[in-house]
Amino acid sequence: MNAVAHTQRWWKEAVVYQIYPRSFMDGNGDGTGDLPGIIEQLDYLKDLGVDVLWLCPIFPSPNDDNGYDIADYQGILSDFGTMADFDNLLEQAHDRGLRVLLDLVVNHSSDEHAWFQEARQPGSDKRDWYIWRDGKPNGEPPNNWASIFSGPAWEYDDLSGQYYLHLFSRKQPDLNWENAEMREAVYRMVRWWLDKGVDGFRIDAITHIRKEPGFPDLPNPKNLSAVPSHEMHRNKDGILNYISELCAETFAHYDVMTVGEANGVTIEQAPDWVGEDQGRFNMLFQFEQLKLWGTEGNDGLDLAKLKSTLTRWQKGLEGQGWNALFVENHDIPRITSTWGNTEHYWRESATAIALMYFMMQGTPFIYQGQELGMTNHPFTSLDQFDDVAARNLIKEWRADGRSDADMLADLQSSSRDNARTPMQWTRHTNAGFTIGRPWLAVNPNHQWLNAADQADDPASVLNFYKAMIRLRRAEPTLVYGQYDLVLDDDPQVYAYTRSLEGEQFLVLCNLSDDAWQGELGAATPAENGFCLGNYADAAAQPAIELRPWEARLYRL
């Protein structure tokens, strides 16, 4: 038990709850979630036991990408309320000991941001804050890069007669990080929020801020519109200079939490991003794990890959940096629908997947509704999809001749809208989310899957999450302890130990529909070691036998 020491920090001991404000709670009955709605539910969050709330973007935005297209970095979207509502939310959260993180979206702004409107004017001194290029002599865009949301990554601007780069939607022009004045304006804005008292940021799409110098064509374009040109703008050499400067000019002067969205960062590179002596971010959302979800629909769970990927990140950062632990967010379908079995083992699979990731070394993130085991939405037609990424795909697939039925089947299991349907508070109309008309359809299963009913049920997914949070809070070993995989090659069970200063825990999760029997060797729990399980009578059962989707935590 040679646990490698990690320095103690509040953000390592915290559990973070991610709020998608549009879908969390509607306080004024207009069908859209808002800040007063979040304030109404602070006691629910406190009771759940989380420490930090991360709010997806709450700023003025034309909502082409639901707020990830920001038109004013220092305001509040009127649908969500006012700055006074935000100040009230911050104060009321702090009064309850809850911290608040905002989403920092500075790879791009909205095309409706004043900076971009100014930059469009020929001769503007903000022209260089964005990325402008002339088209090719043959009338094509400046290069053949493709947007992450389909189609070309360039949009022609009539006013100035040049193209601008947008790695995401055409309403999300990329900021030019080579421009020092633009960077300084971003830092001033970040400091303004930090001075207001926010407790940190989740930093969006940050690995895209540096582009390949010279903006060359991709050498071998395949189906360009279908394959974003990541190799030209994802985690490019030199990006860490920008990250160092961003952190030195802002976060380094405050006791805050930072977590960067890190598409393209490998575990070998991760210590440069989150190494405790580097002065950059605290944590990353790594994307290697996201590849396990599959890009085209529901590929089910590949347990061997899951174990090797998560173990590589656990061991790779051991003693050096800190992991962000997550299985859901607003960009991926619901995990119980993707990896679990919603038909026969809904509650068991939701809780087994939960225990599997929650007790690893790192800071656990819970996405709203995950703590209830919310599932994908039963979409029945293509016009139900709201997400810009889905709408662009539908256009493109249609042009390629794909049938509606085929597109629907794909999006049913892959669309981001699955995670964005309103939070299910009660079994009543609109799941208690709004008295108005919800902006996105409520999942009909709220009649049996909702927070109010689960609060009263000791065996519920919600109460399992509460128990996990309580245990993690009570046991430093579950926060700081060393992670070691057990039963490495077992095709059904994900098992690992956590060890610190003579204390040891064992996490055992059967992630399959079949019962399991096996040997635990040195990791066999002592009698009375049982701490938590997702079957009612688990304490009395032998640890070497697990029922379908059974998960247990033992003290060794």
Catalytic positions are: 204, 261
Least separation in angstroms between CB 205 and ligand NOJ: 4
Query: Cα-atom radius of gyration of the chain, to the nearest Å?
Result: 23
Long-range contacts of 382-385 (CB under 8 A, 24+ apart): 382/407, 382/408, 382/411, 384/417, 384/441, 385/411, 385/415, 385/417
63: alpha, beta or left? (left if phi > 0; alpha if psi -120 to 50): left
Least separation in angstroms between CB 133 and ligand NOJ: 21
C-alpha distances in Å from residue 547, one per residue of 347, 352, 510, 515, 529: 13, 11, 7, 4, 19
Q: What angle do CA 65, 44, 427 make, to 5 degrees?
A: 80
User: Closer to ligand NOJ at the Cβ: 108 or 347?
Assistant: 108
User: Closer to ligand NOJ at the Cβ: 199 or 417?
Assistant: 417
Least separation in angstroms between CB 69 and ligand NOJ: 7
Q: Is 59 in the site for ligand NOJ (CB under 6 A)?
A: no
Q: Is 64 in the site for ligand NOJ (CB under 6 A)?
A: no
User: Closer to ligand NOJ at the Cβ: 330 or 466?
Assistant: 330
Least separation in angstroms between CB 140 and ligand NOJ: 25
Candidates 65, 174, 199, 475: give the one binding ligand NOJ (CB under 6 A): 65
241-270 positions binding ligand NOJ, by CB under 6 A = 261
User: Closer to ligand NOJ at the Cβ: 261 or 348?
Assistant: 261
User: Closer to ligand NOJ at the Cβ: 79 or 204?
Assistant: 204
Give the Cβ contact number of residue 378 at 10 Å: 12
| Number of residues binding to ligand NOJ, judged by CB under 6 A | 9
User: H or E segment at 1?
Assistant: none
For 19, list phi and psi in degrees, rounded to 5. -110, 130
Q: How far apart are CA 203 and CA 322, in angstroms?
A: 16
Closest C-alpha among 215, 229, 313, 317 to residue 272? 317
User: Closer to ligand NOJ at the Cβ: 56 or 461?
Assistant: 56
Least separation in angstroms between CB 100 and ligand NOJ: 18
Ranges of beta strands (E only) in 85-230 are 99-104, 132-133, 154-157, 162-165, 200-203
Q: Is 105 in the site for ligand NOJ (CB under 6 A)?
A: yes
Beta sheet of 551-555, edge-to-edge order: 482-486, 493-500, 503-510, 551-555, 530-533
314-353 positions binding ligand NOJ, by CB under 6 A = 330-331
Least separation in angstroms between CB 40 and ligand NOJ: 25
User: Closer to ligand NOJ at the Cβ: 26 or 65?
Assistant: 65
Ranges of beta strands (E only) in 158-281 are 162-165, 200-203, 257-262
201-240 positions binding ligand NOJ, by CB under 6 A = 204-205
Closest C-alpha among 482, 337, 348, 501 to residue 419? 337
- Residue that has been written with the tokens 């599932």 in this structure: 375
User: Closer to ligand NOJ at the Cβ: 6 or 108?
Assistant: 108
Residue at 523: amino acid letter: A
Residue at 256: amino acid letter: V
Taking a C-beta distance cutoff of 8 angstroms, is the pair 204, 105 a contact? yes
Least separation in angstroms between CB 167 and ligand NOJ: 8
Least separation in angstroms between CB 93 and ligand NOJ: 22
Least separation in angstroms between CB 68 and ligand NOJ: 3
User: Closer to ligand NOJ at the Cβ: 168 or 251?
Assistant: 168
Candidates 54, 68, 73, 464: give the one binding ligand NOJ (CB under 6 A): 68
Least separation in angstroms between CB 410 and ligand NOJ: 19
User: Closer to ligand NOJ at the Cβ: 145 or 168?
Assistant: 168
Q: How far apart are CA 455 and CA 143, in angstroms?
A: 55
Q: How far apart are CA 160 and CA 162, in angstroms?
A: 6
Residue 203, classed as helix, strand or coil, is strand
User: H or E segment at 58?
Assistant: none
Ranges of beta strands (E only) in 84-157 are 99-104, 132-133, 154-157
Instruction: List the structure tokens of 176.
Output: 């030019």
Closest residue by beta carbon to ligand NOJ: 68
Q: How far apart are CA 220 and CA 394, in angstroms?
A: 25
**Helix axis angle, 461-474 to 346-358, nearest 10°:** 20
**3-class SS shares of the chain: helix, strand, coil, % to 5:** 35, 15, 50
176-205 positions binding ligand NOJ, by CB under 6 A = 204-205
Instruction: List the structure tokens of 3.
Output: 């646990």
Q: Which residues bind ligand NOJ (CB under 6 A)?
A: 65, 68, 105, 168, 204-205, 261, 330-331
